[in-house]
């Protein structure tokens, strides 16, 4: 899942650490020896119970975006992908691409108004009334939609990221 070409090579010890974290989730399922490329997939419940993810309102979407089957069940490859994109070494474009996919709930390559409404509800824990949510989403689309098609494409999103310099430091999970 994800065919974005990366241009960075993080360091080896980072991946070793990640491998041990992955194995700690289910030591009886994950072998130490990966030479014969075993086909091991950890279910979403285990991934979502990690301390770094368990309180994040977007944990389900993150797991779905990075998992191969789209359901949140991750192989080692997916797990390593996820934490390398969320590390501080990943370049801005890569992070923007995956953030866009996370917020695109219906996977149609556009963040439409319903996606935005779901995002706002997750961000505010359903505390806003539906009218307020709708108003907020309208404002966002007005502001960020450059090609005037009523929804945000990846280019619109990337353009918005340029105007948010904190994005690189907030779209980051330390492990």
Q: Which of 46, 112, 140, 154 binds another protein (CB under 8 A)?
A: 140
**Three-state DSSP class for 42?**
strand
Closest CA to 166 of 92, 84, 90: 92
Q: What are phi and psi of 68, to 5 degrees?
A: -70, -40
8-state DSSP, 111: B
Per the document, the length of the chain is 175
Beta bridge partners of 152: 111
Is the CB of residue 40 less than 8 Å from the CB of residue 29?
A: yes
Residue 60 as a binder of another protein (CB under 8 A): the answer is no
* 43/58 with CB nearer another protein: 58
- What is the per-residue binding string for another protein in 89-128, x denoting contact by CB under 8 A? ----------x---x------------x--xx--xxx-xx
User: Whole-angstrom Cα distance, residue 174 to residue 50?
Assistant: 12
Q: Which stretch binds another protein (CB under 8 A): 40-48, 66-74, 81-89?
A: 81-89
Size of the site for another protein (CB under 8 A): 68
Instruction: Give yes or no for residue 70 binding another protein (CB under 8 A).
Output: no
Kindly list the residues in this chain that would bind another protein in the complex (CB under 8 A): 2-6, 9-16, 19, 32-35, 37, 51-58, 80-81, 84, 86, 99, 103, 116, 119-120, 123-125, 127-128, 132, 135-136, 139-140, 143-144, 146-149, 157, 160-174
């Amino acid at each position: 899942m994800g065919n974005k070409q990366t241009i960075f090579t993080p360091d080896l010890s980072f991946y070793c650490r990640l491998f041990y974290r992955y194995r700690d989730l289910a030591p009886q399922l994950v072998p130490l020896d990966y030479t014969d490329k075993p086909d091991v997939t950890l279910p979403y419940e285990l991934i979502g119970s990690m301390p770094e993810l368990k309180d994040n309102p977007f944990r389900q979407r993150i797991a779905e975006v990075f998992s191969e089957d789209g359901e949140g069940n991750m192989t080692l490859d997916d797990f390593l992908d996820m934490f390398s994109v969320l590390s501080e070494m990943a370049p801005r474009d890569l992070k923007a691409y995956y953030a866009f996919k996370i917020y695109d709930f219906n996977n149609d390559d556009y963040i439409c108004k319903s996606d935005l409404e779901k995002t706002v509800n997750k961000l505010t824990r359903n505390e806003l009334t539906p009218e307020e949510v709708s108003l907020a989403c309208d404002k966002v689309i007005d502001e960020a939609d450059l090609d005037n098609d009523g929804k945000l494409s990846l280019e619109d999103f990337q353009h918005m990221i340029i105007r948010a310099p904190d994005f690189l430091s907030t779209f980051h999970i330390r492990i």
